[in-house]
Structure 1
């Protein structure tokens, strides 16, 4: 909802995509101060538990070609991105029961899909986390960021003013009104 006070260190939720934003820095660029008319901020983006409930078993995470050099091997490479531009694809697979009867005849369907995470605002992608096979210790989790961005406070405030951001309590209440995700596991909640 609009009216949130955007603060460093707090998570804000984008209910339409089941992602979260966490502001990590507020700053002014003193090198280019004469060109800077707005407060700048840096934030991390992650996926919520509810977002993960719509994803099966993750098989890989890929970044578009234009962001490949933003990987951990070249942390200082920044890439301009537009709002709703693809930042990463989470590839996953799962098995769903498509038909069953009382005699325990079950037909399973294998699903192989991807979930695309997009930039919430115009800005600069300044880093993506390493999800390569060599870095298997890093797992996608609702508390882990997927990538980091920089933008002007005005861009994030515009998202807020349009009612596209929620605080934690508001988002939790919103999720309670939704059906559980297709892969929701009540034993893991």
Structure 2
């Protein structure tokens, strides 16, 4: 079984928290000419009320041709090297990480009003993390309507309908509690807080 059972994360709250904190998705798309996937990276926003992801890509992106098909979304959280010194030399060198893997159906948005709503949601969400002051936040309304509509013609707006969530949180869960506590303390002292906070 991979990942090992003790590294599997099923807590939906933690899975959603990771995709919200690290929204840049690596999207694995089927390629009819190859057994391998095409790959692109797209920032996605998870709308928890509707339980969908929203985003947009350039209209020539292969995703634009996958309406109704399934893709895999990979969200990678923080990661770091685990030195044996973090566990008082009671572990071998390793690597800590957390990732979320979502299977979702692609739905291409065609309605102009719906496109506008998605762009408003995306810019409002990401601008709130960009500036501390409300007056400094850029808004899509600053772009004239005709110019916006012309820009939207160059984009594909997409909703991703998730059907399966999987978490792979490799955080030394297979180690005794005292070793995990030592690792957590060492990570905290080293300033690797995002990883330390995931270790319980």
Using CA pairs below 8 Å that are at least 6 residues apart, which structure has the higher relative contact order?
1
User: Same fold per TM (> 0.5)?
Assistant: no
TM-score (norm 1): 0.28
Of Structure 1 and Structure 2, the greater helix share is in: 2
The two structures have a TM-score, normalised by structure 2, of 0.27
> Which of the two has higher C-alpha Rg?
2
